[in-house]
Structure 1
Amino acid sequence: MPSFFQGSFGTNSTLNIFYNDTYFQYQNSTLRLKLEVPYLSVSGLPNGASLSGGSVVSRKGVSTQTHSASGIGDVWLAAHYTVLQSSGLMPAIVPFAKIKFGTASASQGLGTGRNDYEIGMGLDETIGARIFPFAHIAYRFVGNPPGNNLQNIWTYNIGSSYLVDEHNVLTGMFDGAQSEQPGYSGPADLVVAWNYNVTRAGSGFQLYFDKGLSNGSPDFGIGIGGQVVF
């Protein structure tokens, strides 16, 4: 899923971030395991700032000078487990846990160099045969490098998917989080996505647009990618 984001992210510079997320996933009726291995390239990153997940999370000692950097990002491992299936007005209850491994270069500002740990809860509903609302909330324990004063945060999203036909799925979502660095705005984004499924198993393509709604978000983002399901 190669993506491009542009914005200031709460700095005095315009950042251009190319974020290419490759993931491997296993799923059955109750369990979903996902491993994400991203590659990112950024220009206009202020010296002293650090990225995480394609967004600026630390601005320690930020200067007016900027630099460009590229390399592997932070690897994420997530596990979702459905403890209660959706039935009638009762949504599916899906607790989850995530680990962010600090694999991105801290010296280049591509990451903090520390692990993050996240636990959360998801609610997934089905209305009729075409509408699929969802909501997720999680608490992230943030790895804090010396002198950065980063704080633990809440993350959340809410939205719905709509099955247009057997091939086309539209999704709208509000996605947000607290700021890891006190005194700055957390990210808040409106995301619209279109999925085209080539096979019944779910192999296909996705196109999405991201509109930042806060000073901690990109001005805009766009991504296009695909998946193969075995």
Structure 2
Amino acid sequence: MRIPTVLLLACIPATAFAQQAQPETGSEWEVSSGVEYESGDYGTGTGTDIEILSVPSRLGMTIGRVQMIAAIPYHRIEGPSDVIPGNVLGLPLLPQPQPEADSVTRNGWGDLELGATYALPVKAVNFSLSGSIKLPTAENDLGTGETDYTIGAEVSKAISDKIIPFASFSYTLPGSPEGISLQDRYAVTGGMATWLGRKTQLSASYRYGENPDAAVTDDQRVQLGLNQWVGSGLSIGVYGSAGLSKGAPDQSVGLRIGFALD
């Protein structure tokens, strides 16, 4: 069964599913969209929660062992007027936190992300390398206005017909926006996926990520995801997380729908 990896990249590492899809000589297009919501004060100490509602859209093409992806979100943010939503950086930024700051609502397109993943031809495990670039296309100050770069690696190995442990690592080099001091950051994720049937998969994972703002605590959270492949290229995923640290969102939930186009 060919699995739409664009959908899965948003929920858990794609390599957890790599052994379900063998390289092909042709190409396959994949599109996905959905809705995501997260909230919290992210350790800013402002006393004001930040609420982010996003509609992410992704387009991917797989040729053999290579997958290329383009993604852009539409954001609705309620919070301090200078909050910048995540994207490649993964966490909102608040350049100059003000205690009890007034909340405002802003809408607009976020930054465009372009990425590629290569599945290495190894048999012992499923192992892939990835790289992405975030371009400063955001509207209404919903981005840093700078280009960010991320590299990563993902590994998985089926230990039975149903159980697949997986892990991933990423390292982001953010740009240097005026008035904001950002540091390079890494993130690691480890977890387990299990098949609940031939077309249903449940995953659970733990994520740790450095905050790009050195003054704010790091991001630690637990994540759950459930994916269902309906047939004819259609897939549906629901996922969520609970924060374990002040620098993480208190909670997040999401729904994603994907289509594979041969």
TM-score between both structures, scaled by the size of structure 2 = 0.79
Number of residue-to-residue matches in the alignment: 222
Q: Measured at CA, do residues 109 and 215 of structure 1 come closer, stay the same or move farther in structure 2, by a change above 3 Å? A: farther
Residue in 2 aligned with 1:225? 256
Residue in 2 aligned with 1:173? 205
Deviation at 1:176, TM superposition (A): 2.6
Residue in 1 aligned with 2:138? 104
Q: Which has the higher strand share?
A: 1
SS of alignment partner, residue 165 of structure 1: coil
Distance between the aligned counterparts of 1:209 and 1:83, measured in 2? 30
**1:7 and 2:43 are equivalent in the alignment:** no
TM-score between both structures, scaled by the size of structure 1 = 0.90
Deviation at 1:29, TM superposition (A): 4.0
Maintained 8 Å contact 1:186/1:214: yes
Residue in 2 aligned with 1:23? 58
1:48-197 paired onto structure 2 within 5 Å: 48-53=82-87, 55-57=91-93, 59-63=94-98, 64-85=101-122, 87=123, 90-105=124-139, 108-197=140-229
Maintained 8 Å contact 1:123/1:135: yes
Deviations 1:27-58, CA, capped at 9 Å, x for gaps? 24411111111111011x2233322226313x
Residue in 2 aligned with 1:34? 69
Distance between the aligned counterparts of 1:29 and 1:196, measured in 2? 24
What RMSD, in angstroms, separates the aligned Cα atoms of the two structures?
Answer: 1.7
Stretches of structure 2 lacking an aligned partner (at least 5 in a row) = 1-33
Deviation at 1:94, TM superposition (A): 0.8
Distance between the aligned counterparts of 1:52 and 1:209, measured in 2? 16
Distance between the aligned counterparts of 2:197 and 2:162, measured in 1? 8
Stretches of structure 1 lacking an aligned partner (at least 5 in a row) = none
Maintained 8 Å contact 1:56/1:216: no
* Corresponding letter in the other structure for 2:257: G
Maintained 8 Å contact 1:52/1:74: no
* Identity percentage of aligned residues: 23
